[in-house]
Amino acid sequence: MVVSVGIDVAKDKHDCFIQNSEGEVLADVFTISNNMDGFHTLLEKIQACIAPQDKIRVG
């Protein structure tokens, strides 16, 4: 399965959304800060939504 991560990039924060290739919402819209803590939060959210065999697309 393909997991898609959509990111609306801004200067201070980014709005993110995660869904699978079947259109199922895995993580509704959430906001991360534009810093290392925010990127660690994003990575944790992605890892919680995927299985080892999944492919990840970020855009």
Residue 12 gets which letter from DSSP?
A: S
Burial of 42 (C-beta count, 10 Å sphere; 0-12/13-18/19+): buried
Predicted structure pTM score:
0.90
Residues 6 or more apart in contact with residue 26 via CB below 8 angstroms = 3, 18, 19, 20, 49
What pLDDT is attached to residue 57?
A: 97
pLDDT one-digit tens code per residue, 3-55:
999 999 999 999 999 999 999 999 999 999 999 999 999 999 999 999 999 99
